[in-house]
Structure 1
Amino acid sequence: MSSRLAGERGSMSVFTVLFSVVVFLLAGLLVDGGAAINARLRAADVAEQAARAGADTIDVDHLRATGQTRLLDEGQVCARADEVIAAHGGDDVSTGACAVEQEQTAVTVTVKVSWTAFFLGAIGFPGTEMEGTATAGPEAR
């Protein structure tokens, strides 16, 4: 009986080490995966708000003269969108792109939100940037 026990010595240590690695990876997927999803949702939310703010910068003189809505020039529209993005603060939020359509009827804003991996960073995956894009335009009533 002692020869059988001698062959099994240390098997529980191997199991514990392997099980710890699996638990660590699962925790990484849960925690870091949740952080990645949160960053993507935050980017989409900020992009929507920035696009709406940009769409609020309408050319009032053109509206009064023609009855049609159009946005101001791209510089003013994107400056307003950038104000909203900056108001959401933090080093992790940045403007990816801002463009006004050719007809000046809508603005498209892209926002990037970076996130840092906690568990998965230990195995060489530091995190990345998530991106959200939204388009909005003024509505005449």
Structure 2
Amino acid sequence: MKSSRQELKVEGAVEVPHVIAYLEQLVTALKSGTVRVYRGGEQVVLGPRGIIGFSLAASEKGKRQRLALELSWRKFAAPDADFDLAIGPAAELPPTPEVQDGAAESAAAATLESDPTSPGEVVLGEAD
């Protein structure tokens, strides 16, 4: 028997302090072992456990900047041994080798292609 799929998707423009609060709520929920996402009468309850798939994409193209974060979990045998990531304010991050060599790329943004018609987005949690 196939289980029913529950999905809740919210998109819109939000001020930075609200985004920070949502991310802090997500961290608290992850630490508790249960992530409940709700809005109005809709809700999805997720139970992340074990090893979590982590995908982060950051891009900058002209005036458009984008950060997409996706967490997923199913059956991962083991964490990736070579996974290395640092996130923080630009002033706190160590310079990348490209910046030390005088490259014009920003140390705070990855150079990934973005959809020029899409606003910045954060996708949090997907479980199957």
Q: TM-score range by the shorter chain?
A: under 0.3
Q: Would you tell me which structure has more helix in proportion to its own residues?
A: 1
* Larger strand percent: 2
- Decide which structure has the larger Cα Rg and report it: 1
Q: TM-score, normalised by structure 2?
A: 0.26
